[in-house]
Amino acid sequence: MKNGIKYVAALILLVTLGSCSSNQSLQEYYVDSNENENFLSFDIPTSILNIATANLSPEEKKAVESIKKVNVLAFNKTTDNVASYKVEKTKVNAILGDKKYTQLMKINSKMAKGVVKFTGTEDAIDEVIVYGYKDDKGFALIRVVGDNMNPAYLGKFISAMEKSDIDEGALKDLGNLLNK
């Protein structure tokens, strides 16, 4: 009887330890990077985009309502932090290599290289991750967090933004920080 209890306890311990992941999550990476002076980090609530819903189609309204916030994390590469850039880029590639992220597309342009990935299901996306880098400038991670976003909503969201009166003053300061 005592051996049976020991085996059950050992099995529970193994299952518990096995279910713990030693891999860093993207959310943990964002939090940890806030302490690092090489990073610029900020959240953009959808309210700052000042999207007027009165002139939107029902699909565009649904798209806007499905998006909660946008998280931005950018690493500004300089001649002084080349080694740190390589380490951080390796960490991001490892995190985004996790099977829980499904790739939507690759980015390969003159401006940057990268990927667009998502978590959730194709019909109910929980988060979209845009990772772009240019080895002479740095990289950026953008998380679009929402509730049951539909891929078709992303196009509708962009269309809604084009119709909106975006508070350029609020976003101008953010752009200035990224262009340093």
Say whether pTM exceeds 0.85.
no
Which residues contact residue 49 at a Cβ distance below 8 angstroms, ignoring those fewer than 6 apart? 161, 164, 166, 167
Q: What is the distance between the terminal CA atoms of the chain, rounded to a whole angstrom? A: 69
Q: 90 vs 62, 83, 96, 97, 108, CA distance in Å?
A: 36, 11, 10, 10, 18
CA 115 to chain centre: 11
Q: Where are the alpha helices (DSSP H) in 73-164?
A: 82-96, 151-163
Q: Where are the alpha helices (DSSP H) in 20-167?
A: 26-33, 58-66, 82-96, 151-163
Question: Measured between alpha carbons, how far is 55 from 139 in angstroms, rounded to an integer?
Answer: 35
Per-residue pLDDT of the chain (180 residues; tens, 9 = 90+): 555 454 444 444 444 444 444 578 999 999 999 889 999 988 877 666 556 566 667 776 777 777 788 889 999 999 999 999 999 999 999 999 999 999 988 988 888 899 989 998 877 888 889 999 999 999 999 998 887 777 666 665 655 555 555 545 544 544 544 454
Phi, psi for residue 140 in degrees, rounded to 5: -135, 140
Beta carbons of 122 and 48 less than 8 angstroms apart:
no
- Provide the token pair at 57: 């189609």
